[in-house]
C-alpha cells in the first residue's frame, strides 16, 4: 500500500486507477500469509549477510530464511530490488520478479 501511495503522489494516479490497484493488492494478500516481525527475525537480520543490504531488506530476507527453515518448503523471494534478489540467491532462494 505504501508503494501505491508513492505512485499516487508521484504520477498523480486517478482515484479510479488507485482503487483498481488497491483491489488487486487486497485479492493478492488474501492468498498469502503475513509473517509477524519477531525477535528471532530481528536477531537473524542483524547477523552478517553475504551482500550489502539495508535494514528493511535484511529483515525481509531474514523472515524468508527463517520461514524456509521452519516450514521446510521451497520458498521464492519475490522482489524487484536487485540487492535483495542477489542476497536471496546467495542463500539459495529462488528469486522471481527480476
* 50 and 92 fall within a common domain: yes
Q: What confidence tens digit (pLDDT) does each residue in 23-72 have?
A: 999 998 898 888 889 999 999 999 999 999 999 999 999 999 999 988 87
* 26 and 49 fall within a common domain: no
Helices (H), 1-98: 2-11, 15-29, 39-45, 55-71, 82-90
* 9 and 44 fall within a common domain: no
Crossing angle, helix 2-11 and helix 15-29, to 10 degrees?
A: 160
* 27 and 48 fall within a common domain: no
Q: Which residue has the cell 498469502?
A: 32
* 19 and 58 fall within a common domain: no
* 10 and 57 fall within a common domain: no
* 60 and 87 fall within a common domain: yes
Task: State the total domains in the chain.
Answer: 2
Q: Which domain holds residue 26?
A: 1-32
pTM: 0.72
Amino acid at each position: 500500500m505504501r508503494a501505491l501511495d508513492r505512485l499516487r503522489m508521484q504520477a498523480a494516479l486517478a482515484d479510479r486507477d488507485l482503487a483498481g490497484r488497491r483491489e488487486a493488492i487486497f485479492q493478492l494478500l488474501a492468498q498469502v500469509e503475513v509473517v509477524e516481525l519477531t525477535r528471532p527475525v530481528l536477531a537473524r537480520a542483524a547477523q552478517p549477510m553475504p551482500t550489502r543490504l539495508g535494514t528493511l531488506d535484511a529483515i525481509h530476507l531474514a523472515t524468508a530464511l527463517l520461514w524456509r527453515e521452519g516450514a521446510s518448503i521451497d520458498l521464492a523471494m519475490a522482489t524487484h530490488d536487485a540487492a535483495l534478489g542477489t542476497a536471496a540467491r546467495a542463500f539459495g532462494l529462488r528469486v522471481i520478479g527480476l
